[in-house]
Structure 1
Amino acid sequence: MKKSNDSIYDYIIVGAGLFGAVFTQQAVKAGKKCLIIDKRRQIGGNLYTENIDSINVHKYGAHIFHTSNREIWNYINQFADFNNFINSPLANYNGKLYNLPFNMNTFYQLWGTQTPLEAKAKIAEQCKKYDYITHPANLEEHALKMCGDDIYNTFIKGYTEKQWGRRATELPSFIIKRIPLRFVYNNNYFNDTYQGIPVGGYTPIIESMIKGAEVQINTDYFENKTYFDSLAPKMIFTGRIDEFFDFKFGKLEYRSLHFEHERLEINDFQGNAVVNYNEFDVPFTRIIEHKHFEFGTQPFTIVSKEFPNEYSKDSEPYYPVNDERNHTILGKYKELAKAYGNISFGGRLAQYAYFDMDDTIEAALEVARKEFKFIK
């Protein structure tokens, strides 16, 4: 990259998603000149929300902000007002609706149990026949041992197999590290202290964060890498780490998603922001009804069906495939990255990990803290 005394910018930020935007906000605050480039036609990465006739549509899937980190909550609230939305998804299995996460309402809907003791006894009864499994060989064995047949078959098996495109017996057990069973009547999906949706969607947040920087969208870094490298002495790279190194050790695997958005001329389609569809034979994993994130009262609605699929060059990489092969490849790329002292690799693609939004903000602020020695 270009030496500082010849530079046009102090930083090139590759990717206008959340990580890049947070770093940019801190860099501009520190008086640095920044150029952000992104290959998409809009800013925001997967957080991008499009306002369609007053409904803010989460174009790349539902994003509910939640955190127990007060510093992060205070930081994000600089850029938007948040409502009091509580994520309480439903699950549809064979036409019957169940509350999520797994809690006393769910257990009552499954078995008619009314007390925690009754629910715990039912789960223990179903798990007992799997006591012989001492070292689960796959996801199915791990889940059955932890929660028994009914919860596994109703909520986990079909949904997970659609999500990963593989049978549960072919998936490693560590994909489900634990199964959160809550023995209270509470449908709040998250346990975090703070939760909500930004009023007006996420795109205005990103716009506020990158104010003061130069932005070029519809611009692929790799199509003119030498030129962009020449513009600044330092870079924040949030794209695919394997692509940065020209796939030297092979390509990291991803699962992708496809969305079908539809406007319906009715005021309410499903009465809830998120409804999961658990049967394997239903091709999509969930339906999102966007107006419910902001308690909309419009006479129409917009819904999105979410279809998992294999990642290809024409789709977006979403979920890293955390198996031994990819872990080994990632380790080699991380070793290469250590030699690039003028480049910080951050975000879900550059770190090959699935992050919540608060984790992404915290990581970006940490990089900024090391660069600028302050945080606000």
Structure 2
Amino acid sequence: MAEFDYLIVGAGLFGATFAHLARKAGKKCLVIDRRNHIGGNTFCENQGGINVHVYGAHIFHTNDKPIWDFVNSFTEFNRYTNSPVALHEGKLYNLPFNMNTFYQLWGVTTPEQAQAKIAEQIASLNITEPQNLEEQALTLVGTDIYEKLIKGYTEKQWGRKATELPAFIIKRLPVRFTFDNNYFNDKYQGIPIGGYNKITEGMLEGTEVRLDTDYFSDRAYFDGLADRVVFTGPLDEFYNFQFGELEYRSLRFEHETHEVENYQGNAVVNYTEAHVPFTRIIEHKHFEFGKQPHTIITREYPDTWTKGKEAYYPINDEENTRRMKQYQELAAQETNVLFGGRLAEYRYYDMHQVIGSAFVKAKQELGVDLVQS
């Protein structure tokens, strides 16, 4: 008989959520992670009282009350509302595109004026069937918004010209004709007081965790420790890349400490010009309304992904979709392995979606709704 009911490969949000629910169901789990910390990309490092989002800004938002209640059961959330601003040629614009933005662009003061301005710009383009991202974006918001706030940022993010990117990447763009700078429409939003580690530490309390532990260093040994495996790593790696690598865009971060109380006045400032190499600057203390005498900022640079770099954004083009389907066909034949999370599913997930996916799979696997119990 195996020592554990479940071996969970990966201590990120999916693995931690599943481990918590399985333990609640009376199951014994072992969680392993090749990194030296739990929490996956939500991991925060406390530096002088400031919780630094090591792998980029994470802002929790959801419309799902059970998920909101679940994360709040581990730590209280603050009232942080994501209201980024964009800097272009020395001028600041509110995001998402709303009446404040339109006033800043054109001096218009009513929704009717803003709608007329956008409609006028779209009409002049004569684009009936958008063939690429650029044409798609232009038909949604017109030339001014596209040129100043979308084009440079998007081309940096993807490392390709907007005319070379498929139209489906921007199916719609949020345009609001109200003076509302809240980036998300979700009912619940905030940052966990004390950082995201509070949540994953709470989820994994009472569960054995081994860090700096690579599943692929001895798969047979690790598989033998448990009756079933929950795998949250890259699906192509699980199958030894036999159909080729699934591709991603990556990010790299430059963290700096400044001996000033307030560097930029906002948690997130986007830089939309193509000649500025980074896409945004994060000032971490503003996520938790910090009053420290110093501050820490992070410049975020889009990066070409190669094996060994962090995989952030799946490239869901035709070739990668074809490869993924081949891997999924193999995964469907597994009898003792459950796959979940953004890497195993090759999907871009927000945090609440990862937790929701773990809820669903835990219920299917364990046979009870442990979120409500």
Where on the TM-score scale, by shorter chain, does this alignment land: which range?
over 0.9
Distance in 2 (CA, whole Å) between partners of 1:134 and 1:200 is: 50
Distance in 1 (CA, whole Å) between partners of 2:357 and 2:234 is: 17
DSSP 3-state at the match of 1:206: helix
DSSP 3-state at the match of 2:4: coil
Match of 1:244 in 2: 238
Distance in 2 (CA, whole Å) between partners of 1:314 and 1:334 is: 22
* Structure 1 residue 220, shift from structure 2 partner: 1.1
* CA deviations over 1:156-195 (Å, ceiling 9, x no partner): 1000000000000110000011011100001000010000
DSSP 3-state at the match of 1:142: helix
* CA deviations over 1:42-67 (Å, ceiling 9, x no partner): 11100001111110000001111100
Structure 2 residue 113 is matched with structure 1 residue 118: yes
Distance in 2 (CA, whole Å) between partners of 1:77 and 1:155 is: 35
User: Does the 8 Å contact 2:150/2:272 carry over to 1?
Assistant: yes
When the two structures are superposed, what TM-score results if normalisation uses the length of structure 2? 0.98
Which residue identity is paired with 2:14? F
Structure 2 residue 57 is matched with structure 1 residue 62: yes
Equivalent residue runs for 1:155-194 within 5 Å: 155-194=149-188
Match of 1:214 in 2: 208
Match of 1:318 in 2: 312
Structure 2 residue 334 is matched with structure 1 residue 340: yes
When the two structures are superposed, what TM-score results if normalisation uses the length of structure 1? 0.97
* Structure 1 residue 371, shift from structure 2 partner: 2.1
DSSP 3-state at the match of 1:317: coil
Q: Which of 349, 368, 371 does residue 365 from structure 2 map onto?
A: 371
Distance in 2 (CA, whole Å) between partners of 1:123 and 1:137 is: 20
Match of 1:138 in 2: 132
* Structure 1 residue 213, shift from structure 2 partner: 1.1
Match of 1:24 in 2: 19
Equivalent residue runs for 1:253-292 within 5 Å: 253-292=247-286
DSSP 3-state at the match of 2:328: helix
* CA deviations over 1:66-98 (Å, ceiling 9, x no partner): 001111111111111000000000001111111
* Structure 1 residue 253, shift from structure 2 partner: 0.5
Structure 2 residue 80 is matched with structure 1 residue 85: yes
Structure 2 residue 46 is matched with structure 1 residue 51: yes
Distance in 2 (CA, whole Å) between partners of 1:324 and 1:189 is: 30
Which residue identity is paired with 2:214? D
Which residue identity is paired with 1:328? R
Aligned Cα root-mean-square deviation (Å): 0.8
Distance in 2 (CA, whole Å) between partners of 1:155 and 1:348 is: 28
Q: Which of 32, 41, 50 does residue 37 from structure 1 map onto?
A: 32
- Matched pairs, number: 370
* CA deviations over 1:5-53 (Å, ceiling 9, x no partner): x201100000000000000000111111111111111111000011111
* Structure 1 residue 134, shift from structure 2 partner: 2.2
Distance in 2 (CA, whole Å) between partners of 1:204 and 1:146 is: 41
Distance in 2 (CA, whole Å) between partners of 1:39 and 1:113 is: 53
Structure 2 residue 195 is matched with structure 1 residue 197: no
Which residue identity is paired with 1:227? Y
Distance in 2 (CA, whole Å) between partners of 1:336 and 1:135 is: 38
Structure 2 gaps, min length 5: none
Distance in 2 (CA, whole Å) between partners of 1:227 and 1:95 is: 58
Which residue identity is paired with 1:111? W
Distance in 2 (CA, whole Å) between partners of 1:165 and 1:226 is: 39
Distance in 2 (CA, whole Å) between partners of 1:70 and 1:278 is: 35
Structure 2 residue 297 is matched with structure 1 residue 303: yes
User: Does the 8 Å contact 2:192/2:198 carry over to 1?
Assistant: no
* Structure 1 residue 248, shift from structure 2 partner: 1.1
Identity of aligned pairs, percent?
60
Structure 1 gaps, min length 5: 1-5
Query: Hey, which bits of structure 1, 4+ residues long, moved more than 6 A?
Result: none
Match of 2:4 in 1: 9
DSSP 3-state at the match of 2:356: helix
DSSP 3-state at the match of 1:146: helix
Match of 1:3 in 2: none
Distance in 1 (CA, whole Å) between partners of 2:253 and 2:198 is: 22
Distance in 2 (CA, whole Å) between partners of 1:205 and 1:180 is: 30
* Structure 1 residue 313, shift from structure 2 partner: 2.3
Which residue identity is paired with 2:347? A
Distance in 2 (CA, whole Å) between partners of 1:36 and 1:80 is: 22
Distance in 2 (CA, whole Å) between partners of 1:163 and 1:243 is: 25
